[in-house]
């Protein structure tokens, strides 16, 4: 590192001084000499070299300037912020109430000068503890016990064993008074409303249901998503298809009667088969021609013979229970009659039983228990209810009698199958008559007037009942069932039934009794029995089914009470179906 120190006074330097003050150092290298500069006034030429000329910005810089133009539409969604609800996670930033204020924080006191007047001090109520468990205070008796009630004479005071008589002008006056103490408040309902700890009372012991096989009661699920209803969805019943209306109907009727299991054909005529709502099996009758045919079907020591009847594809499996014959020279006549297989559950085939339930049981379970080990299957579609222990009792009855009584208790009927060992228990009225015009009414058949060959009616009016009182006897409950929208001032005769042991049963029975009231017409009509595979006809109408009749004067709904099918003649027979409908006006 080189340090140079030069000092001197202010004066004009002589040219010789410049040389004397030169440093005794070796001459600089030529390349360093070029980098030295002397102090002097800059020439004008130096100014021009250092000056920066004014000029335009080169044209290439213009390309960097952004021109003004309208914003493209696609740029807007990227910059916009949509309105939306605050996310749920922001709720976690809220602070809850707690004991966060410390005693050290309460240090700031504001002194008012002048102090405000304490206006509310006079109305402030002091807090005292009430006397919950003390003796009951009675103001009247407490005053009588504490005060001395003097007599009519003068008071006599004794001081020091001698009587005291006040002077007429005493210096001291005595003032004797009694100030009762303010009693402590006592709750008035402390003793009467006291609740003790104990186990809850078991009120629903009769509603216990034993474990059994579950039954589907919601129908076929639609698998439709409902955001506000997580439960199963029961779809509305689909209305039956409208029959095809034609100018002429050509039906090739077929009637076949064979013996089972050999399937030997039997020639028969005047075949009739029918069912009504109060029967639990189809009835059957036919005429046969020869003794040989009678020997194939008449009952013997092994029991009743079984035959199969086929009418236009509709089949019935029947038991031949009775037969008759008339011989008159030169002609002979034979007839047979019987019923479908559910007749085996009644007398004289089924044994008599006596039973008493020892545990709570449902009506459907009780009916299924009657068919145990019989080969029959029960489908319960009527109202179900519970029997408490000891409520379901009967003596000397067959299985079908018990099932029919269970169905009749809630206004149901027993509807047997035609060719299988199946028994259905359905309500006689699928819907109350006043609701037959609703959209969700389960209509089973549509009978157009164009298909009717006969039509008749019978007017059978009934009282306009609007209320029904139902009750059990030794078990169960009682209920007044009133039709909605009415005063309930015209009740039916009271219904007392031993097996009305639960509220659903009472309600169903009351609705059934009210459904039999009003202006009723029994309509009888005859229509063809279309083949089983024909989807354009009416088909077979069963009891307890609702049928819609679209008459030109107005469509109406009727309840099927009975159906009767007849095949008259031999060979190319005429088959017709006669049904009775209950119509409410």
Among the residues of 106-199, which ranges form H helices? 139-146
**How confident is the model over 126-177, as pLDDT tens digits?**
666 778 777 877 776 766 665 566 666 666 777 777 887 777 777 776 666 6
Domain range for 292 is 255-344
Q: What pLDDT is attached to residue 232?
A: 57
Q: Which two tokens stand for residue 83?
A: 């309105």
- Give yes or no for a cis peptide into 114 (omega within 30° of 0): yes
**How confident is the model over 93-123, as pLDDT tens digits?**
555 566 655 555 545 555 545 555 555 555 5
Residue 500: inside a domain, yes or no? no
Q: What is the mean pLDDT of residues 531-558?
A: 90
**How confident is the model over 317-347, as pLDDT tens digits?**
999 999 998 887 777 889 999 999 999 999 9
**Percent of residues, the chain, with pLDDT higher than 90:** 46
- Which residues sit opposite 158 in a β-bridge? 163
Same domain for 263 and 237, yes or no, is no
Domain final residue, candidates 285, 311, 344: 344
Same domain for 452 and 571, yes or no, is yes
* 3-class DSSP state of 425: strand
Residue 332: inside a domain, yes or no? yes
Nearest by Cα to 559 from 526, 516, 509, 529: 516
Output DSSP code: residue 64: G
- How many domains does one find in the chain? 2
Residue 187: inside a domain, yes or no? no
Same domain for 454 and 571, yes or no, is yes
Instruction: Give me the count of residues in the chain.
Output: 585
Residue 65: inside a domain, yes or no? no
Same domain for 453 and 553, yes or no, is yes
Same domain for 453 and 552, yes or no, is yes
Q: What pLDDT is attached to residue 93?
A: 53
Same domain for 452 and 585, yes or no, is yes
Residue 502: inside a domain, yes or no? no
**How confident is the model over 486-534, as pLDDT tens digits?**
888 999 999 999 999 999 999 999 999 999 999 999 999 999 999 988 7
In order of 28, 35, 37, 380, 389, the CA distances from 32 in angstroms are: 6, 5, 11, 123, 129
**How confident is the model over 343-375, as pLDDT tens digits?**
999 999 999 999 999 999 999 999 999 999 999
Nearest by Cα to 547 from 442, 421, 415: 442
Same domain for 243 and 270, yes or no, is no
Q: What pLDDT is attached to residue 305?
A: 92
Q: What is the mean pLDDT of the chain?
A: 79
CA separation for the pair 166, 14 (Å, rounded)? 146
Residue 579: inside a domain, yes or no? yes
**Residues 6+ away with beta carbon under 8 Å from 271:** 255, 257, 284, 285, 286, 309, 311, 566, 567, 573
Same domain for 227 and 301, yes or no, is no
Q: What is the mean pLDDT of residues 402-423?
A: 95
Q: What pLDDT is attached to residue 506?
A: 95
Same domain for 232 and 320, yes or no, is no
Q: What is the mean pLDDT of residues 302-327?
A: 92
Same domain for 454 and 550, yes or no, is yes
Domain final residue, candidates 324, 344, 364: 344
CATH number at residue 272: 2.30.300.10
- CA geometry: angle 509, 513, 518, nearest 5 deg: 155
Residue 432: inside a domain, yes or no? no
Q: Positive or negative CA dihedral for 156, 162, 167, 170? A: negative
Residue 104: inside a domain, yes or no? no
Domain final residue, candidates 327, 344, 361: 344
**How confident is the model over 22-51, as pLDDT tens digits?**
545 555 555 554 445 556 665 555 544 445
Using 50, 70 and 90 to split pLDDT, how confident is the model at 81?
low
Which of the pair, 565 or 83, is modelled with greater confidence?
A: 565
Same domain for 546 and 568, yes or no, is yes
Does residue 190 carry a pLDDT above 60?
A: no
Same domain for 230 and 312, yes or no, is no
């Amino acid at each position: 590192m080189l340090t140079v120190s030069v000092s001197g006074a202010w004066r004009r330097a002589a040219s010789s001084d410049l040389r004397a003050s030169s440093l005794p150092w070796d001459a600089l290298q030529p390349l360093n000499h070029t980098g030295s500069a002397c102090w002097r006034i800059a020439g004008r030429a130096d100014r021009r070299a250092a000056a920066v000329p004014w000029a335009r910005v080169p044209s290439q810089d213009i390309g960097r300037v952004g021109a003004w133009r309208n914003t493209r539409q696609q740029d807007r969604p990227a910059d916009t912020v949509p309105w939306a609800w605050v996310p749920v996670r922001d709720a976690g930033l809220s602070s809850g109430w707690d004991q966060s204020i410390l005693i050290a924080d309460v240090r700031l006191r504001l002194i008012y000068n002048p102090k405000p007047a304490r206006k509310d001090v006079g109305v402030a109520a002091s807090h005292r503890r009430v006397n919950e468990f003390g003796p009951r205070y009675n103001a009247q008796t407490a005053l009588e016990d504490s005060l001395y009630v003097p007599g009519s004479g003068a008071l006599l005071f004794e001081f020091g064993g001698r009587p005291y008589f006040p002077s007429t002008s005493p210096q001291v006056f005595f003032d004797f008074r009694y100030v009762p103490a303010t009693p402590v408040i006592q709750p008035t309902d402390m003793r009467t409303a006291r609740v003790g700890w104990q186990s809850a009372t078991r009120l629903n012991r009769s509603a216990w249901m034993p474990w059994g096989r579950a039954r589907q009661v919601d129908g076929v699920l639609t698998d439709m998503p409902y955001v506000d209803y997580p439960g199963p969805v029961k779809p509305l019943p689909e209305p039956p298809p409208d029959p095809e209306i034609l100018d002429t109907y050509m039906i090739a009727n077929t009637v076949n009667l064979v013996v089972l299991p050999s399937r030997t054909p039997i020639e028969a005529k005047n075949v009739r088969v029918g069912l009504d709502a109060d029967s639990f099996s189809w009835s059957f009758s036919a005429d046969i021609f020869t003794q040989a045919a009678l020997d194939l079907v008449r009952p013997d020591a092994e029991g009743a013979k079984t035959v199969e009847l086929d009418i236009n594809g509709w089949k019935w499996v029947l038991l031949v229970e009775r037969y008759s014959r008339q011989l008159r020279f030169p002609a002979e006549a034979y007839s047979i009659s019987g019923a479908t297989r559910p007749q085996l559950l009644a007398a004289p085939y089924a044994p008599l039983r006596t039973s008493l339930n020892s545990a709570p049981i449902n009506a459907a379970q009780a009916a299924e228990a009657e068919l145990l080990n019989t080969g029959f299957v029960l489908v319960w579609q009527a109202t179900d209810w519970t029997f408490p222990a000891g409520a379901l009792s009967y003596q000397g009855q067959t299985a079908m009698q018990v099932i029919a009584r269970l169905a009749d208790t809630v206004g149901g009927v027993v509807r047997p199958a035609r060719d299988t060992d199946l028994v259905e228990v359905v309500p006689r009225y699928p819907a109350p008559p006043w609701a037959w015009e609703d959209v969700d009414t389960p209509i089973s058949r549509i009978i157009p007037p164009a298909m009717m060959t006969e039509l008749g009616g019978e007017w059978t009016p009934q009282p306009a009942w609007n209320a029904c009182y139902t009750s059990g006897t030794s078990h169960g409950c009682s209920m007044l069932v009133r039709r909605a929208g009415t005063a309930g001032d015209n009740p039916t005769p009271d219904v007392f039934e031993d097996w009305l042991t639960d509220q659903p049963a009472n309600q169903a029975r009351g609705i059934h009794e009210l459904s039999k009231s009003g202006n009723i017409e029994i309509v009888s009509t005859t229509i063809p029995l279309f083949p089983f595979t024909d989807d354009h006809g009416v088909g077979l109408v069963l009891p307890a089914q609702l049928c819609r009749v679209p008459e030109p004067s107005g469509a109406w709904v009727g309840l099927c009470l009975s159906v009767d099918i007849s095949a008259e003649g031999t060979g190319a027979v005429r088959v017709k179906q006669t049904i009775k409908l209950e119509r409410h006006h």
